[in-house]
Amino acid sequence: MTNLLLMPGAARISAARLPPALQCVEITAAGLDAQIGPVEAEHATPPACWAACVSAILAARGHALAQRRVVAETYGRAPGPAWGRDIADATTRRWLLDDFQWLTCKCVVLYDGDPQVERSELAAEAERELAEGSALILGAGDHVMLLTEITVGRDAYGNGQPLAAVVRDPWPGKGRRPLAAREWTGARFLAKLLSRPDDRGVW
C-alpha cells in the first residue's frame, strides 16, 4: 500500500479548517491487487495498452485472450486512437477465446467526461466496484491503465476523497505502481468489463 495522497496540498489544509463533521472520519480501501498478475502491453502504443488491460481482466477470471487479437479485432489493420466510449463499444462483443470457447463481454462506462469537472462521487464509486470484484480501466491524460486498488477518506456525510491508489501500468517497463495525484485529477475515463460464458443471449 502506498502513502501517496491524492488530495492536493491546498485542499488538505482547507479540509483541516472545516468543521469536524466535514473532516475525514473514515478511511476505507478496496481492491483486487493480489488477484491481478503482471500487465504489460506487447507494444508501446495506446491500443496495445488498452488490449493489455482487457486481457488482464479476463485472465484474472480464468480466460485467455491474446492482446494481439484484441488489437486486431478492435482496430483492424490500422490501429487508431485508443480512447473512450468508442473503444468501450468496440470491446462489447462476443470474443472467441484462445481455447476456442466463446465469451460475451460488455464494457460498462462509469465515467467519460471533462477532467476539469470534478466528480466527487467517483472515488467512492471506484471503491465500490473494486470491492465487488471489478478491476477498472482508467484513462488519464492520453494513457490507459488498470486500477486495482483505491483508498478513500469520507466525511461524516459520506462524501469521499481518494487518498491513494494502485494501478497496473501496461506501458512496457512500468508495471505495478502508485497512481499520481495529477493522474487522478486528470482522469477522463473509467470503465469496467463484464463477462460471461456465451449463451447467445443479450445483455
Residue 139 burial (C-beta neighbours within 10 Å; 0-12, 13-18, 19+): buried
| Amino acid 172: pLDDT | 94
Q: Which three cell numbers stand for residue 61?
A: 477470471
The per-residue pLDDT for 13 is 39
Distance spanning both ends of the chain, measured CA to CA: 36
Per-block average pLDDT, block size 10, for the chain (203 residues)? 42 45 73 90 90 94 93 74 78 92 93 67 91 93 91 80 93 94 88 87 51
Rounded Cα–Cα distance for residues 44 and 99 (Å): 27
Contact 183, 141 (CB under 8 A): yes
According to DSSP H, which parts of the chain are helical?
Answer: 9-16, 46-60, 67-75, 84-91, 122-131, 181-185
> Grid coordinates in use for 78?
490500422
User: What pLDDT shows up at residue 154?
Assistant: 82
Q: Name 117's Cβ contacts closer than 8 Å, sequence gap at least 6.
A: none
- Residue 80's pLDDT is what? 63
Which pTM was predicted? 0.82
Is residue 4 within 8 A of residue 179, CB to CB? The reply is yes
What is the rounded CA–CA span in Å between residue 21 and residue 191?
32
Domains in the chain, start-ordered, CATH in brackets? Answer: 9-16+23-197 (3.90.70)
Type of residue found at 133:
G
**Judging by beta carbons within 10 Å of its beta carbon (0-12, 13-18, 19+), is residue 72 exposed, middle or buried?**
middle
Q: What are phi and psi of 179, to 5 degrees?
A: -80, 130
Share in percent of the chain as helix, strand, coil (round to 5): 30, 30, 40
Alpha-carbon separation of residue 20 from 2, 12, 162 (angstroms): 26, 14, 19
